[in-house]
Amino acid sequence: MADASASEYVVIGPSKVGKTALLSTLQHAAFAWARGQCGFESVEVRPSSETMVELFHEVTATLKHGQLPINASTELTEYGFEVSTRGHRPFLLFLRREHVTRVGFKMLDSPGGAIFGSGTEGGDVDYEAMARFREHLVNSLRTARGLLLCVSAINPDQAFEFFCDLPQAFNRTGLAELPAQRVAICVTKADAFTSQRSWGRSSLENLRAECPLEVARSILSKPTFATLRQFLRPDAQVAFGFASAYGFLEHEGCANFDPERQGLMVHVGDEDGNTDGSFDPARKIDAWQPYQVLHPFLFLATGMSDGLTVVKAKDL
Ligand SMILES: Nc1nc2c(ncn2[C@@H]2O[C@H](COP(=O)(O)OP(=O)(O)OP(=O)(O)O)[C@@H](O)[C@H]2O)c(=O)[nH]1
Ligand SMILES: [Mg+2]
């Protein structure tokens, strides 16, 4: 199943920001992809490692219980998958021809504490294991083709972890400049973020009025932005985007997230929260549409920028 031609990418971010949840919903998001969205007629995600098959299967239980069934990561795991897109591109003035891309990912995911240890001090932490994971991640940063940085839209304490630990991780590479050509900064848990700030407007509409770069700026300190500016190639493309593993209800526009239960508002397991009064499992499954979870991967793979704010690293 392993894909030898896949490139290595690294996902980092503090504990519980939703790194593994993001990865887990990728295939479901591709199944829910609307034809023509972002200019692609279709987007497919295929696992190329057993770890990915298992993670994709695990997340289907979300529809049954409402909550994302993701436990905190305790291991460094390599997830292999392929993202392919099909669309049309202009060709010879007025003609268009089919354009297909296929990119293999080897995505390293680890407990957030491996890099962002400042938030886990004093807890039940295996420091030796974390040090091993950190070494592996730092090694991968030396060669990784792309980097995915997850920042939670609703956990303000993480600013300190980024401030303390991101420079340390980059300093440990021994490189003045990381080779990554594209870096995606994913502002996660957009559903909970907008639910907290919906001033009478539907939350999706509210979210669309926000700029992910500015929200990231308000969450992270200036020294963290300076860290990125210093260690990324000046011409590296940095994309900022919101994402939500729970997503939004298409017609209502509100988040498909129940803050009280901390889970999907509409799920198959029981009839609570069924917004239209009918119990129809197929429609509840259809209602689960993770929001922009595939976007950072499409950006890393193809440079696609729909729904994202993209700047050069030197302009951060
Ligand atoms: N509201 C909301 N909660 C989310 C979302 N994604 C993840 N969560 C919740 O956030 C918690 C942490 O998610 P994980 O994916 O385990 O986070 P992680 O970054 O992998 O955490 P570690 O493995 O501990 O580093 C879980 O309780 C998830 O249910 C999201 O899009 N919206
Ligand atoms: Mg995890």
pLDDT (tens digit per residue) in 88-103: 777 777 777 788 899 9
Ligand 1 centre to CA of 242 (Å) is: 14
Ligand 1 centre to CA of 252 (Å) is: 24
- Picking from 303, 253, 237, 244, the residue whose alpha carbon sits closest to that of residue 40 is 303
Ligand 1 centre to CA of 94 (Å) is: 46
256 Cβ closer than 6 Å to some ligand 1 atom? no
Backbone phi and psi for residue 142, each to the nearest 5 degrees, phi listed first: -65, -25
How many residues are listed for the chain in this entry? Answer: 316
Provide the pLDDT for residue 52.
Answer: 96
For residue 274, pLDDT beyond 80: no
Three-state secondary-structure class, residue 264: strand
9 Cβ closer than 6 Å to some ligand 1 atom? no
HSE value, Cβ hemisphere, 13 Å, CA-based, for 201: 11
Percentage above 70 pLDDT, the chain: 93
Provide the pLDDT for residue 2.
Answer: 46
DSSP label at residue 18 = S
Q: Which pLDDT tens digit goes with each residue over 258-269?
A: 888 889 988 887
151 Cβ closer than 6 Å to some ligand 1 atom? no
Cα separation, 242 vs 236, whole angstroms: 20
Three-state secondary-structure class, residue 211: coil
Percentage above 90 pLDDT, the chain: 62
Ligand 2 centre to CA of 182 (Å) is: 22
Cα separation, 161 vs 43, whole angstroms: 35
Please, what is the Cα angle at 249 between 248 and 254, to 5 degrees?
70
Which pLDDT band, with edges at 50, 70 and 90, does 121 fall under?
low
The structural domains of the chain, with segments of one domain joined by +, span: 6-315
16 Cβ closer than 6 Å to some ligand 1 atom? yes
Three-state secondary-structure class, residue 193: helix
One-letter amino acid at 306 equals D
CB 252 within 8 A of CB 260: no
One-letter amino acid at 198 equals S
Q: Mean pLDDT across the stretch 62-84?
A: 89
CATH 3.40.50.300 fits 6-315, yes or no: yes
Which range has the top average pLDDT, 61-65, 160-164, 197-201, 280-284?
160-164
Q: Which pLDDT tens digit goes with each residue over 150-166?
A: 999 998 889 999 999 99
Provide the pLDDT for residue 117.
Answer: 79
Nearest CA to ligand 1 atom 21: 16
291 Cβ closer than 6 Å to some ligand 1 atom? no
CB 248 within 8 A of CB 203: yes
Ligand located closest to 77 CA? 2
- Picking from 218, 165, 190, the residue whose alpha carbon sits closest to that of residue 308 is 190
Strands (DSSP E) contained in the chain are 7-12, 40-47, 77-91, 95-109, 146-152, 182-188, 237-242, 257-258, 263-264, 309-312
Higher pLDDT, 283 or 123: 283
Residue to substitute in 11, 12, 17 for testing ligand 1 pocket (most ligand atoms within 8 angstroms of CB): 17
